[in-house]
Amino acid sequence: MKTQIPEFAIIGHPNEGKSSVLSTLAEDDSVRISPIPGETVVCQNFPVRIDGREIIRFIDTPGFQNPRQTLQWLQDYQGPEEQMLASFITAHQDDPAFHDDCELLGPVAAGAGIIFVVDGSRPLRHVDRAEMEILRLSGAPRMAVINCKEEDAGYLPQWQSEFRKHFNAVRLFNSCRANYRQRIELLESLKAIDQQLEPVLKTVINAFQEDWEIRNMQTATLLAALLQDILAYRRSVACGKGEEQHKRLQLHREYLDFVTAREQQAQQAIRHLFKHNIFNLELPPQSILSEDLFSKRTWEFLGLSDRQIILAGALGGAALGVGLDAATIGTSFGLFSAVGGLIGAGATALKGKELLSGVRLLGMRMGGEQLQVGPVSNIQLLYILLDRGLLFYAHVINWAHGRRDYEGMHNLMGPASGKGGFTRHWHRNQRNICDHFFRAVQKGQEGVLEEASVALQDLLRDQLQEISEDRAAAGATQGQTDGSSQDSNA
Amino acid sequence: MKNLWNIADLIDLHYFFQTDEVLRQKQGESALAKRDRIIYLAKIEPQLGKADDIPPRILVRKWLAIRRLQFSQERGQEGHILPGTVWRELASLCCGLFFLAGLFTGAGLAASFLIYSGTAPLNVSSYLGVFVFLQLLFIAGQALFFLYRWTQRIPMESTVLYVLIGRLLMRGMDGLRRRLQRKITGQQRLDLAALVGGVQQRKELAVLLIWPAFILIQLGGIGFNLGVFGATLAKVVFSDIAFGWQSSLHLSASAVARLVQWIALPWSWVLPHASPSLEQIQGSQLVLKEGIAHLTTGALVSWWPFLCAAVVVYGLLPRLALLVLGLVQQQRALDKLHFATLGIRPLLQRMASPRIDTNGITEIERVATSAPSTERNADSEPAATQVEASIPEGRPWFVLIPDELYEDCPFPALTDSLSSRTGSARITYLRSGVPGASETENLAPLIATASTAKLAGVLLLQEAWQPPLRETESFLQELRRVAGNTLPLTILLIGRPTAATLFTKVDPGQLQIWRQKMRATGDPCLEVLPLVPS
């Protein structure tokens, strides 16, 4: 390595997912990826910066175009070994047929380490052996990454045994499924390819981990602020006789709009925190007001169809274990629509449901000429919001930057996901923190609220860390947010 | 079989090939095979006999006629017109327009030139200069150019204009491609390369378009001369026109008379009076300071037959001759067209080969899936690197199989499939891409055969999931070098191998990528087909 910043060239056969691996490793979803071979024609640097300080640099390269001829040339080469690649480039740089080969060997000649990417779902061929031999002759520190694009692992042993002959380290890495933990593991194994790289890579990994913790902390703060804003929502309007119905509708609508906008704002902030520019779980606005508002499904999710539950739903409501379906993210603000739907005209449209329950839920009071909404009196909403936030987080961090089947995103939130969120697995003391926070918001005491908010943020930060390390339990069944099971939904 | 093909036919042929490509993508190769086989069996065989005995240009012409008929029956009522018809109509429209434009220009120019007010007679040398000598100069220039090319044996492709336009176009496209290289996506890059390759592939057709342009120019010239001739005659008949000659040099009338006799030589034997006599020449010499009063009327009007004859002989007749030359050359260019470059081979194969589709499973699938493991026993595997199927019949085909697939290749099944596909049993299998060996070594038997006998074609087995590399293109170029420019090369694609068989269906996306990549090479005799029909 010429510089202190470790450089790694991602090299391989065309169309093996080099750019995809790089996109995931560098958390950059702007890397162009396509199923057409030859998408990448020039080397492109992807520096990873933390606090403006470049800590590692990945280089995307075009695929080999003349592996056999290149190998032949290198084998016939007579000059000094350290000049071999540079001589190859000098000899071929004016030949357009060798443009890609010169381009991809450029960074290696300049001292970059090699991450050789292959698609492990296909059989090994002579050209692959030629490419491996070229890289071996280069003498650069190198690691093989088997990017198993499809679920076909039949050729894996063949690849692994061949790789052992040519590479210092071999790692399985699914660029479309890899999450934070797998990224860190890949970086860890890079340490093994060259002892000299170890200290600097250690720094890189520490920086990555620190950065991740900071992002989690920021997410926790965002979620706590979201809860505080929504739970403390309070509006009152003057209401003359006869316009009560109209005013209730208006209040209801305003409340929905507020919740929608506030939650979206928090989600966007989380998305940007995790450097997702394209992947977006934004939801269609019409579902808020139209079909989801009174949909039976929404009621079932919430367990609100039973009037008794709602009536009993004071502070202890959470203990009833009202689950949250992962699909709620898909059904958008149907939840809130339903919650809000209990007030005003919504309640009358629900026929059987009594207005009273809605009043209790949202804490709407009618005193004389005043109509008032909020603050929320049912802690259930806190858990719903929390679960939605955590689920959103889980989806965002588990969506690899190299994954581009955005149409598959909507399937993530299908109705098959089963009921339940993260919070239903929480212990009593974790719930206590939430209760404490909820009461503090209700009472609106500054000092107490501050303290409760800090406690909640700590709780959330730990929870987020658990989710990113695949340790958190979610849903009715264990391991709901486990990368693999989530992806199988997709 | 002269006059069999014309440009409109070629345009229609390419149009049908293009629509077939769309159909192939939608419904697969089998749909095309079925349609063309039916056309052959129902319409062509009863009239012309066996496909093997019919020259391709006649067979394809017949196929084209039937496709045209089908097109007019199916889509003609909806108002769809074939591009060949459009070309034909446009061409005749252009001919008419050029002729009329020439006619009006000539008539207009002549009419405006021939205005005589009675003060000074019209200058004969100006008329001759503008309407005769200028044209002669153009024709002579063109003739010299043709003569030079003919003596130097330079083909049409090296016409300065053609080369300039062609190079500009190619360089422009190349420059555009390079400039866009970094900005466009892989798919766009592939499309662009295929487009450029396609244009290169049709370079030979572009030559054909030179002659229609040549003919158009001649028609314009003929119109121009007729216009000049007509306007002069009309002016002479319906108005009083006086012609005279003048010069600042002390030219004697006799010298002018000699010059006039020389010019009139071509028509003097048929129209002896269509040139002025010495007296008339003397009588029509204009000296400005003396005025025109002394000039004799007879001498002043004696020039017009000479001028009209000069326009006909030096303007009209050469243009007519050139028109005939253009028409003849156009037909010759069409006759010379190398039919193998038109990509008709797949069509001929589709018409000639019987369709095997028992229960929807093709032969190769049946063989490959029924007994894959026993198929690959020692008996069926080749002992040497070269396997030749038994019956020597027809021209030999070579099949290049990548080294890594060679051992696992079920040769009996492959031979069955290829025999029915090529209609020949002389199939030789060769290993390609053997590590450590040069391709020339690998291709040695092919080179040896090609030097003694004519090959029927070379088939290259390739795995579609392996993206085509520059290395593949270089190999194809090498193959072209040893096998000739017009030898049919076919890349037979197979899909990802399964535990049961090597011959699986090809992913349509990968097939498309291969087709586009190979089109980009600009090789008109190279085609890409899936081994197992989809």
Q: Do B470 and A100 touch (CB under 8 A)?
A: yes
Look at A474 and B396; give whichever has higher pLDDT: B396
Q: Are A474 and A329 in contact (CB under 8 A)?
A: no
Q: Do B470 and A66 touch (CB under 8 A)?
A: yes
Residue whose C-alpha is closest to residue A139's, from A116, A117, A167: A167
What is the dihedral angle through the alpha carbons of B245, B250, B251, B254, rounded to the nearest 10 degrees? 110
Q: Does A42 touch chain B (CB under 8 A)?
A: yes
Q: Are A460 and A223 in contact (CB under 8 A)?
A: yes
Of A38, A42, A130, the CB nearest to B190: A38
Q: Say whether pLDDT at A347 is over 50.
A: no
Q: What angle do CA A239, A240, A245 make, to 5 degrees?
A: 70
> Which of the four pLDDT bands, split at 50, 70 and 90, describes residue B384?
very low
Percent of chain A, pLDDT > 90? 22
φ/ψ bin of A367: left (φ > 0), alpha (ψ from -120 to 50), beta (otherwise)? beta
- pLDDT, tens digit, for every residue of A282-338? 543 323 222 332 333 433 333 333 332 333 232 222 222 222 322 233 333 333 333
Q: Of the ranges A220-234, B3-17, B71-85, which is most confident?
A: A220-234
What is the dihedral angle through the alpha carbons of B176, B182, B186, B192, rounded to the nearest 10 degrees? 0
Q: Do B467 and A126 touch (CB under 8 A)?
A: no
Q: Say whether pLDDT at A95 is over 50.
A: yes
pLDDT of residue A325: 28
Q: What integer is the mean pLDDT of B280-287?
A: 79
Q: Say whether pLDDT at B391 is over 90.
A: no
Average pLDDT, rounded, for chain B: 79
Q: What integer is the mean pLDDT of A130-155?
A: 85
- Least reliable range by pLDDT among A240-244, A447-451, B345-349: A240-244
Instruction: Return residues 310-369 of A near B (CB < 8 Å).
Output: none
- Cβ-Cβ contacts under 8 Å, B463 against chain A: 125
CA of B448 vs chain A CAs: smallest distance (Å): 24
pLDDT of residue A107: 94
pLDDT of residue A408: 57
Q: Are A224 and A202 in contact (CB under 8 A)?
A: no
Q: Of the ranges A90-104, A464-478, B343-357, which is most confident?
A: A90-104
Tokens coding B188: 């766009």
CA of B498 vs chain A CAs: smallest distance (Å): 10
pLDDT of residue B440: 80
Question: Which residues are registered as beta bridge partners of A9?
Answer: A59, A114
Q: Does A41 touch chain B (CB under 8 A)?
A: yes
Q: Say whether pLDDT at B359 is over 50.
A: no
Q: Of the ranges A114-118, A346-350, B41-45, which is most confident?
A: A114-118
Q: Are B236 and B302 in contact (CB under 8 A)?
A: no
Q: What integer is the mean pLDDT of A43-65?
A: 87
Q: Say whether pLDDT at B479 is over 70.
A: yes
The SS3 of residue A49 is strand
Q: Do A98 and B496 touch (CB under 8 A)?
A: no
DSSP B344-369: -HHHHHHHHSPP--BTTB-HHHHHHH
- pLDDT, tens digit, for every residue of B169-179? 667 766 766 67
Q: Does A470 touch chain B (CB under 8 A)?
A: no
Tokens coding B74: 């199916």
Q: Do B186 and A97 touch (CB under 8 A)?
A: no
Q: Say whether pLDDT at B226 is over 80.
A: yes
Q: Of the ranges A157-166, A384-393, B278-287, B445-454, which is most confident?
A: A157-166
DSSP A434-454: HHHHHHHHHHT-HHHHHHHHH
pLDDT of residue A280: 63
Average pLDDT, rounded, for chain A: 72
pLDDT of residue A121: 85
pLDDT of residue B201: 60
Q: Say whether pLDDT at B221 is over 70.
A: yes
- Cβ-Cβ contacts under 8 Å, B515 against chain A: none
- pLDDT, tens digit, for every residue of B87-106? 888 888 999 999 999 999 99
Q: Do B467 and A66 touch (CB under 8 A)?
A: no
pLDDT of residue A78: 92
Q: What span, in angstroms and rounded, lies between the C-alpha atoms of B275 and B261?
A: 7
- Axis crossing angle, helix B56-74 with helix B7-27, rounded to the nearest 10: 70
Q: What span, in angstroms and rounded, lies between the C-alpha atoms of B286 and B256?
A: 13
Q: Say whether pLDDT at A365 is over 60.
A: no
- To which residue do tokens 């029924």 refer? B370
Q: Say whether pLDDT at B422 is over 80.
A: no
- pLDDT, tens digit, for every residue of B23-73? 877 787 778 888 888 888 888 888 887 777 778 888 888 899 999 988 888
Q: Identify the burial level of A352 via C-beta atoms within 10 angstroms of its C-beta, where 0-12 means exposed, 13-18 middle and 19 or more buried.
A: exposed
Q: Which amino acid is at A296?
A: K
Question: Which residues are registered as beta bridge partners of A105?
Answer: none
Q: What angle do CA A80, A85, A90 make, to 5 degrees?
A: 100
Q: What integer is the mean pLDDT of B132-152?
A: 81
Percent of chain B, pLDDT > 90? 11
> Which of the four pLDDT bands, split at 50, 70 and 90, describes residue B316?
very high
- Cβ-Cβ contacts under 8 Å, B469 against chain A: 14, 64-67, 127
Q: Are B324 and B390 in contact (CB under 8 A)?
A: no
Q: What integer is the mean pLDDT of B306-312?
A: 90
> Which of the four pLDDT bands, split at 50, 70 and 90, describes residue A203?
confident
Q: Of the ranges A77-86, A260-269, B185-194, which is most confident?
A: A77-86
Q: Do B469 and A67 touch (CB under 8 A)?
A: yes
The pairing of beta strand A370-373 with beta strand A53-60: unpaired
Q: Which amino acid is at B351?
A: M
> Which of the four pLDDT bands, split at 50, 70 and 90, describes residue A62?
very high
Q: Do A41 and B187 touch (CB under 8 A)?
A: no
> Which of the four pLDDT bands, split at 50, 70 and 90, describes residue A15?
confident
pLDDT of residue B53: 77
Q: Say whether pLDDT at B235 is over 80.
A: yes
pLDDT of residue B181: 65
Of B185, B468, B474, the CB nearest to A39: B185
- Cβ-Cβ contacts under 8 Å, A41 against chain B: 181-182, 189
| Inter-chain Cβ pairs, chain A and chain B, closer than 8 A | 70
CA of B458 vs chain A CAs: smallest distance (Å): 22
- φ, ψ of residue B492 in degrees (nearest 5): -100, 120
- φ, ψ of residue B50 in degrees (nearest 5): -65, 140
- Least reliable range by pLDDT among A397-406, A473-482, B322-331: A473-482
* DSSP H helical ranges for A5-114: 18-25, 67-76, 84-92, 99-109
Of B463, B471, B497, the CB nearest to A67: B471
pLDDT of residue A382: 81
Q: What integer is the mean pLDDT of B450-468?
A: 86
pTM: 0.64
Q: Are B156 and B162 in contact (CB under 8 A)?
A: yes
pLDDT of residue A478: 36
Which chain B residue has its CA at the smallest distance from A64's CA? B469
Question: Which residues are registered as beta bridge partners of A12?
Answer: A117
Residue whose C-alpha is closest to residue B72's, from B5, B16, B18: B16
